[in-house]
Structure 1
Amino acid sequence: MRVKFFLLRCVNDIRLLVQYRQYTHQRFVSLLGTLALLWLSYKFVHAIFSRGYLRGNPKVDHWCDREDLPAYFTKQDPEEITIITAFFNLGTYKNGPNSLDYTNPYQYKEWMRPLGRVANPVVAYIEDESVARYFQEIRSCLPETRTKIIRVRREELWSFRLRPYFKRIYEKPGYPQHHPNTVYPEHTSASHAKYELLEMAVKKNYFKTPFFAWLDISYLRNLDQTSFDIFKLVPPTTFNVDFVSMSQAYPHDPNIRAKDVIANNLVWVSGEMLLGMRETLVNFTSLYKHTVERLLKDGLACGDEQVIYLMYSTPLRKPKQVMIKTYMCHEGQLGLYGRDTRFLCLGYVCKNSWDKIHKPGPG
């Protein structure tokens, strides 16, 4: 209540100053000092939580100590989706245009926790042994047979072997700089690794499922430290098996030049989730890797969302290539707001498809 009263007083003081000029010099100086203190406090808290000063692992909710997993969650559905994800420790890096936009490994560990209440089978490619153990703990309330953790070494991956080429391109004078896409070569490699690892997991089909979804390990971050029922992701009723499904973020201009897409950091579909069947995803990921290498030959490099934008542009489009079915949500739909409405739509549509079937009715 004291904080609320203090903030209301600040708002009222500013209103008096702007509208009526009913303000003493002493009170004005006091207000400026208070606002400066608030700003410094915010900067300090942000530094602690975003610049990587926190170490260790966030606490894991062992929900099975207080509730049971219904038996139907462990039965394989006819439309079962294998979730494929990965984690590479990229350290603390700038993740946007603003001065305080930083992301660190501790945050990612927090954001991956909701996967402990997702009953789909999960294939997780993880580099660090400590993170692999932590992810296993996150999934420990689910049957062991629902999780496969694969240790991976970045230097053995196609995507990370391209890192020196990305680095040389980003160091060119005048090359567009968009954090993190065209600034950090490691981040570029990690974004391309998604499609390489997705292809590997789809071909192996460890859980013998008909459908597969790439899910960024941070995808369900909005659910972290919230109360939600155990659920599965299932294909929406509008899912088309001949297409790769993705969330549409912005419109697509097929005639735009590659240099303009990179210069403006344009996005058509979100790379945070892809959904499809084996054949369509293998074809899609193969074309994706080909596009990355073609751009490199032209002296261009960018993040995965820009690559996909260019895959469907007129200059780079291939005949009979796999099409993308886009999903769009409106503001507030499925609890999504702002950027999340555009970039996270598909996953929440899949969750809602499960909830509509399995949510218990009132009473």
Structure 2
Amino acid sequence: MAKRLPYKTGFFVCIVLVLLLMFKIYKDGDRFELQKIVGGSEVYLYNNEDLFHRLIRGNSSLNSTILDKVISRLFISPQSTFSSISTTDIKKFLDQKNVIISVLVPKISEQRRRHQKLIRNSVSKNFTLVTAYWDLGTFRKGSAGMFSTSLYKKWAIAFRYMLNPLVIYTDSLEFRNHMETIRENLSFCTKIVYMNRTNIGAFQRVGKIKEIYEQPNYPKHYPNTVNPAYAAAQNAKYNVMAETYRHGLFNTTYYGWIDVGYFRDLVNAKDFYVMVVPPDFDPTRLAFNRMNSYVETSDPIKVFRDNMYWVGGGMVIGEGKVIDEFERFYQRAVDFFLDLKVMNSDQQVIYSIYTKKGRQALKPEIEIQPYLPKPPGNAWFYLGFLCRNVIKII
């Protein structure tokens, strides 16, 4: 008959077994599975330094296909924490891990060249995006709270994987440096214009806007009718879009304005994406995101004072020649409304232009193509997500 263990000894053995089991679960949880059928078996690799020992040493049983896959995961793909380190740093890093550098580093360099070529070939050849950040300090925006440089810098991270020519205008050295870092791997299709904003026509009207906002009983809508520089910044988007086209910075057919914070919900996404012209786009018009019903009989003065809007200004798309023509017209419209002692953001300018009274006074020759948002998602950002196509770079 089997001898029974004393109670204390049995309890101690149970504790040891539980601890061993917990340790095994912990270690198993610390590895990832690379599913690649080689000779009918799956290969399991640890995500710590043991990974390098298993892969690179001369006795590794992994073939070159699996090695390429692991290199891509560790050093090339956007999801990798090592993807941005230099070849020199990789050599130092791997030397510390005692792996065969002569095997791995050339592989990494080769894969990076291939990866960069794929990225270049995936960049849009016909659609340039334009954005801007003008340092207005920290300001209140409606009920959304306070907006600051740090917030815009956080939102701008979403531009890291945009595979379109991108032109950024700014008067902030801090933001310029931030964007240089974000677009470092896409510098060949990025242009940052660091400038004094007073050189832009819209900002030369700040004094007139300020006088209007200081009128007794002029409605306060934060920041649209409170901060003259904010209103000028919204009008300036048409200046910089047209300047980008006129200077032929990337010489594409289509150009689009996109707010720095447009893809604020994607700052943690690590997918490459390319922006394309929306379906059924009429190249004789400008595409906007429709936010409210259009009422032709609305009074332009009321539109400005009551903060009414028809389309959103977060994204604007048009053919280069159309944007050029529209910008010249738009600035005349702004001056027309300034003479009427009203101003607000570009959303109110656009709405007022296309009212019955606005058409009679200004005679616009370029029409708007409003895209009606469809669920799900935030209606304000519908047009941008309609244009956004995820690209797999392998």
Deviation at 1:70, TM superposition (A): 5.8
Q: 2:326 — aligned with what?
A: 284
Structure 1, residues 129-153: CA drift from partner, whole Å, max 9, x if none?
22211110010122x2111111121
Q: Does the Cα contact within 8 Å between 2:124 and 2:164 map onto a contact in 1? A: no
1:320 deviates by 5.8
CA distance in 2, matches of 1:320, 1:289: 12
**Which secondary structure state, in structure 1, belongs to the residue aligned with residue 312 of structure 2?**
coil
The 1:151–1:242 alpha-carbon spacing in structure 2 relative to 1, beyond 3 Å, is: same
**1:164 Cα deviation after fit:** 1.1
Matched residue SS, 1:247: strand
Q: CA deviation at 1:180?
A: 0.8
Separation in 2 of the partners of 1:206 and 1:154?
19
TM superposition score normalised by structure 2: 0.68
Which residue is 2:133 aligned to?
87
Determine whether 1:348 maps to 2:391. no
Give 1:155's aligned amino acid: T
Determine the C-alpha separation between the residues in 2 that align with 1:260 and 1:63.
Answer: 55
Number of the residue aligned with 2:243: 200
Distance 1:110 1:258, change over 3 A: same
Q: Work out which of the residue numbers 152, 155, 158 in structure 1 matches 2:195.
A: 152
Query: 1:121-270 counterparts in 2 under 5 A?
Result: 121-142=165-186, 144-225=187-268, 227-270=269-312
1:155 Cα shift?
1.8
Q: 1:35-87: per-residue Cα shift (whole Å, max 9, x none)?
A: xxxxxxxxxxxxxxxxxxxxxxxxxx988439964634313777621111111
Unaligned runs of 5+ in 1: 1-60
What displacement does 1:122 show? 0.7
Q: Which moved more, 1:292-301 or 1:125-134?
A: 125-134
* 8 A contact 2:258–2:315 mirrored in 1: yes
Task: Look up the match of 1:323.
Answer: 367
Q: Is the 8 A contact 2:305 2:342 kept in 1?
A: no
Is the contact made by 1:112 and 1:217 (CA closer than 8 Å) also made in structure 2? Answer: yes
Runs of 4+ in structure 1 off by over 4 angstroms are 66-70, 76-79
Q: Give me the whole-angstrom Cα distance separating, in 2, the residues matched to 1:65 and 1:350.
A: 28
Amino acid at match of 1:243: R
- Give the C-alpha shift of residue 190 in structure 1: 0.9
Match of 1:65 in 2: 84
Count residues with an aligned counterpart.
286
Which residue of 1 is the match for residue 347 of structure 2? Answer: 305
* TM-score (ref. length: structure 1): 0.74
How big is each residue's C-alpha offset from its partner over 1:287-323, in whole Å with a ceiling of 9 and x where there is no partner? 2111110001111111110001011111122446111
Q: Matches of 1:79 and 1:323 in 2, distance apart?
A: 26
Distance 2:185 2:369 in 1: 34
The code of the aligned residue for 1:184 comes to: N
Quick one: distance in 2 between partners of 1:320 and 1:184?
28
1:359 & 1:239 partners in 2: Cα distance? 25
Distance 1:296 1:65, change over 3 A: same
CA contact (8 A) 1:79 1:234 kept: no
Please say if 1:74 is aligned against 2:120: yes
> What value does the CA root-mean-square deviation take over the aligned residues?
2.2
In structure 2, stretches of 5+ residues that fail to align are 1-79, 86-110
What is residue 105 of structure 1 aligned with on the other side?
149
User: Larger Rg: 1 or 2?
Assistant: 2
Distance 1:166 1:108 in 2: 24
Q: For residues 131 and 80 of structure 1, what CA distance do their matches in structure 2 show?
A: 27
Give the structure with the larger strand fraction: 2
